[in-house]
Structure formats: structure tokens, C-alpha cells
């Protein structure tokens, strides 16, 4: 498999964690989101993802390459293709819906509003300063974390949902990375902090960290 990724991209980070949890070897293909106006806009890359976003997963294990976009769709595909190792979506439909709820709180309601292209638009079209952009991102992350902290208050143990890692944790850890980057005070969210600390002790999460990627800028 090939993963088109950017070291700091939280959506790519989710897929890196899932691939590691599933113990899948993959080739890392860097897509620089800033250099040369953003390689995600190149013709070569938009053939893989017309949405101009990372990640893209190419599953070459078939006669025809399977090209997949949208990190949550990729994670669910991996979970169904490799069900033996680390099930990321629970068996029971209600548990599955709850895992998706937390995943969507973060991946649908928080991350898109603080994505690079949105921050670039705020700056270039609405004259937002660097401080304005940080305040904006921080606000929307705090809003999503406030919901997630409440949602997991009766279920969190080592992970968001008990003692098994799920897609919710796979999405939470990269969003936490962004939260810290934008200066969110994580003392407000003790359950999230505890779950993220536990996840980050696991090799699959450690290996997926932005700073451990081949394209990382230290
Ligand atoms: N919903 C998409 C989001 C993908 C996304 O927002 N990717 C960001 C990096 S985390 C990106 O490629 N940004 C480039 C840009 O904004 O130009 C997914 O989950 O895959």
C-alpha cells in the first residue's frame, strides 16, 4: 500500500495510526502542503484526489489499484479488509454508532474549520492576522473537545470506549496534536488528556507521530 501524506496533517496522521495498528507495511509518499503553492494542487496529485487534500491511500494489492480518499472512509475500509487485527469499529451497531459520533465530532465538526485552506482564506480574503487565525482554530477545537469530554465521561478508561482502541482514539490523538499546536489549554479536558497519554505510549501511535515521519521538519 502507498499512503500520500503530509507529516503535520491530522487526517493523514489518523490513517498512519490505523495502518500501524493493523500492522500493515506501507510506502510513505510525501505531499508538501505548502511548498510550491501546495503539492496537493498538482495535476499528478489531483488525479489521485480531486479534493486537493491528503491523505490518499493506494491499495496496490489487486489487479487494479484502489485509490481511496477521506481518512474515515479509509480507516473503515482497512478495518473491513483486515478484521483480524485491532478492530477499530465495534461489533455491536450501537457501540459502532457511538464510536462514529466521537470520530465525527472531531473529523467533521472541528478539523475542517481549522484546516490549512480555511486559515489561508481567512488571511487572504478576510484580512485575518496570525493571532486571529490561532484564536479561530482554538475556539473550534475547544468547542469540539467540550462535547467529546462530556460524551466519553461514562465510557473512558484507557481509551475513549473502555479498554479497546477504536476509531475514536485514532481521530482524537491527531486532533489533540493540533490542539496543542494552537495553544488549547488541555487542563480543561482531563479525560481526553488521559486517553491521549495512554494512546501515545503505544508503539502504533508513537510511530505515527508527525515528528517521526520522513518528511518531518524538526
Ligand atoms: N475530511 C478529509 C480532510 C482532509 C484534510 O483536511 N486534509 C488536510 C490536511 S489535515 C489538507 O490536505 N489540507 C490541504 C489544504 O488545506 O490545502 C479527510 O478526513 O481525509
- Per-residue pLDDT tens digits for 181-196: 999 999 999 999 999 9
153: Cβ–Cβ under 8 A, 6 or more apart, which residues?
191
CA dist 184 → 37, 147, 195, 201 (Å): 28, 15, 17, 21
Assess if CATH 3.40.30.10 describes domain 2-85: yes
Q: Which residue in the block uniquely carries the three cell numbers 482514539? A: 169
The torsion defined by the Cα of 20, 185, 97 and 174, in degrees rounded to 10, comes to: -20
Hey, which of 42, 45, 54, 118 would you mutate to test ligand 1's pocket, going by the most ligand atoms within 8 Å of its Cβ? 54
Please, what CATH class does the domain formed by 93-205 belong to? mainly alpha
User: How do residues 118-154 score in pLDDT, each as one tens digit?
Assistant: 999 999 999 999 999 999 999 999 999 999 999 999 9
Which residue has a Cα nearest atom 11 of ligand 1?
53
Domain spans, the chain = 2-85, 93-205
Hey, which of 53, 74, 111 would you mutate to test ligand 1's pocket, going by the most ligand atoms within 8 Å of its Cβ? 53
Q: Which residue in the block uniquely carries the three cell numbers 488528556? A: 193
Q: Which atom of ligand 1 is nearest to the CA of 14?
A: 19
Report residue 97 as a C-alpha cell. Answer: 454508532
User: How do residues 18-64 score in pLDDT, each as one tens digit?
Assistant: 999 999 999 999 999 999 899 999 999 999 999 999 999 999 876 78
Give residue 15 CA to ligand 1 midpoint distance, Å: 12
CA atoms within 13 A on the CB side of 177: 21
Is the pLDDT reported for residue 213 higher than 70?
yes
Residue 218: predicted pLDDT? 78
Residues in contact with ligand 1 (CB, 6 Å cut-off): 9-11, 33, 38, 40, 52-55, 70-72, 107, 115-117
Q: What is the pLDDT averaged over residues 81-102?
A: 97
Amino acid at each position: 500500500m502507498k499512503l500520500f501524506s503530509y507529516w503535520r496533517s491530522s487526517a493523514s496522521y489518523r490513517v498512519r495510526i490505523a495502518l500501524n495498528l493493523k500492522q500493515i507495511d506501507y510506502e510513505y509518499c510525501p505531499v508538501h502542503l505548502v511548498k510550491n503553492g501546495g503539492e496537493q494542487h498538482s495535476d499528478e496529485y489531483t488525479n489521485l484526489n480531486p479534493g486537493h487534500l491528503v491523505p490518499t491511500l493506494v491499495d496496490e494489492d489487486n489487479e487494479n489499484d484502489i485509490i481511496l480518499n477521506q481518512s474515515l472512509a479509509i480507516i473503515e475500509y482497512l478495518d473491513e479488509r483486515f478484521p483480524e487485527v485491532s478492530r477499530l469499529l465495534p461489533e455491536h451497531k450501537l457501540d459502532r454508532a457511538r464510536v462514529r459520533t466521537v470520530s465525527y465530532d472531531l473529523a467533521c465538526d472541528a478539523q475542517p474549520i481549522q484546516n490549512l485552506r480555511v486559515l489561508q482564506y481567512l488571511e487572504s480574503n478576510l484580512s485575518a492576522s496570525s493571532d486571529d487565525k490561532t484564536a479561530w482554530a482554538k475556539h473550534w477545537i475547544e468547542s469540539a473537545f467540550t462535547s467529546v469530554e462530556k460524551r466519553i465521561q461514562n465510557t473512558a478508561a484507557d481509551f475513549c470506549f473502555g479498554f479497546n482502541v477504536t476509531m475514536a482514539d485514532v481521530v482524537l490523538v491527531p486532533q489533540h496534536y493540533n490542539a496543542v499546536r494552537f495553544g488549547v489549554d488541555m487542563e480543561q479536558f482531563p479525560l481526553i488528556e488521559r486517553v491521549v497519554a495512554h494512546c501515545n505510549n503505544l508503539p502504533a501511535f508513537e510511530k505515527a507521530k508527525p515528528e517521526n515521519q520522513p518528511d518531518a521538519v524538526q
